[in-house]
Amino acid sequence: ARAVRMITIPQMVGFLNGLGGAASAIAAWMTLQGTVALNTFEVATGALALCVGALTFTGSMVAAGKLQRLLPQKPIRLPSHQMLTVASFLAMLLGLVLVVVLPGQRLLFAAITLLGSLAFGVLFALPVGGADMPITISLLNSTSGVAAAIAGMAIGDVLLVSVGGIVGASGLLLTQIMCHAMNRKLSAILLGKGTDKPAPVPPVQPVMETPAPVVEAELPPPKDAAQWINDAQDVVIIPGYGMALSQAQHAVKQLYDQLTGAGKRVRFAIHPVAGRMPGHMNVLLAEVDIPYDMLFEMDDINPTMDKVDLAIVIGANDVVNPAANTAEGTPIYGMPVLEVEKAGRVMMLNYDDKPGYAGVPNPLYQERPNVLLLFGDAKESLEKLLT
C-alpha cells in the first residue's frame, strides 16, 4: 500500500475489496468441506458467505480492471447478457438452497454456488460505466463486509461478525447516500439500466438552445486567463478526476493560497461522484491541507452559482455537463450536476475537448463568450497561471 500512488487509490480500494471477498469465500469453502459435523445454521451461513464473497471478488476485480484500464472503461454487454445474468443468479440461488437441503452432496452444490457467484459478479460489473463506478465501488465495499460477517457466523468468530457488520452497514449507507445524490436507484445500477449506451445517442445541440449567461458589453471577456482570475472576487473551484490524473492538487493549493491572499472568496464544489471512488476529491484536497470548511457539497453550491464571478473547472467533465439534463439514454441523464454554466465566467482546465468517462459530449466546449478553455495537462496549466 505504501508503494501505491495517490492516483491509483481507487484501483487499490477495488482490489482490496476483492481480496476481502475472496478471503471470506475461502474461509466458507474450508468450513463446508471440512470433516467436522456442521449444523444447519453453519452450513447455511457458510454457503451464503461463499456466495457473497465470490461475487464480491469477481465484481471487484472487474471494477479495478476498468479503473486501471486493463478492461474497457465503457459499459460492456455480452451477447444475451441479461439471460446470462439471470442464469448465473439462478444457479447461485439453486446451489445455495441445495447445499442446505441435500447435505450428502454438499461439495457438489457448493461448487455450483461458487461458479454461479463468480459468474454473476463478472456479469454484474461489466455493464457499469460512467458516473456509476464510485457507487459500484462503495457497494462492493459493503458486500465485502457482509461476506466477512456471514463467514464469521459460519466459523463462530464474533469479532469477524462485528467488524464485517460495521463495514457492510457503513458501505451500504454510503451507497444509498450517493444514489440519492445522483438521483439514481440502486436497483437500476445493479441491473445496468441507464448504462447500456456508452456513446451519446441524442445530439447535444438542443442543450445549446438555452442561451449562455450574458456578458455586459462594457466588460468584454478578457482573453488572458490571469485577467479573469484578477477580476473575480467570488471564485468556485470544481476538481475532478483530471486533477488526480495530473497530480495537480499541490498547484490547486497554491492557487487557493494566492486567491485567498488577495482577499478573494474561494470555495471548492465537490460532486458526490467526482473521481473514481467515494471521497476521492476530499482525499486529494486533504493531502494538501485545504481547509475542510472550504469544501461544499453540490446542493450547497448550486443555489449560489449565479452569483459566482468565476468557476474554475479542473479536470472535471461529466459532473459539470449540462447535457445530463437533456441527453436521454446516456449514462449521465438525470444525474444532478454542478451548474457551472450559471456562473459569470467559466474557466475549464481539461486535457482536451473529448467527452468524459461517461462518453457524453459537453456543450460547454462549444464557443461561448463567458467560457475559457485551457486544454492540456491540468497541473501544467495551473503552473502557467500561477507564474
Query: What residues act catalytically?
Result: 318
Give strand pairing partners of 268.
237, 295
Distance CA 30, CA 46 (A): 9
Q: Of 343, 372, 384, which is closest to residue 228 (Cα–Cα)? A: 372
Q: Of 218, 258, 252, 221, which is closest to residue 237 (Cα–Cα)? A: 252
Distance CA 194, CA 128 (A): 9
Pairing state between β 295-297 and 234-239: unpaired
Distance CA 360, CA 333 (A): 10
Q: Of 17, 268, 310, which is closest to residue 142 (Cα–Cα)? A: 17
3-class state of residue 311 by DSSP: strand
Q: C-alpha cell of 45?
A: 451461513
Q: Which amino acid is it at 193?
A: K
| Pair 267, 340: CB distance under 8 Å | no
Distance CA 180, CA 168 (A): 18
Distance CA 181, CA 297 (A): 10
Q: CA–CA distance from 131 to each of 3, 17, 56, 274, 349 (Å)?
A: 27, 19, 20, 8, 20
Distance CA 226, CA 349 (A): 13
3-class state of residue 314 by DSSP: strand
Q: Which amino acid is it at 302?
A: N
Q: C-alpha cell of 179?
A: 444514489
Q: CA–CA distance from 129 to each of 136, 197, 202, 330 (Å)?
A: 9, 10, 18, 11
3-class state of residue 322 by DSSP: helix
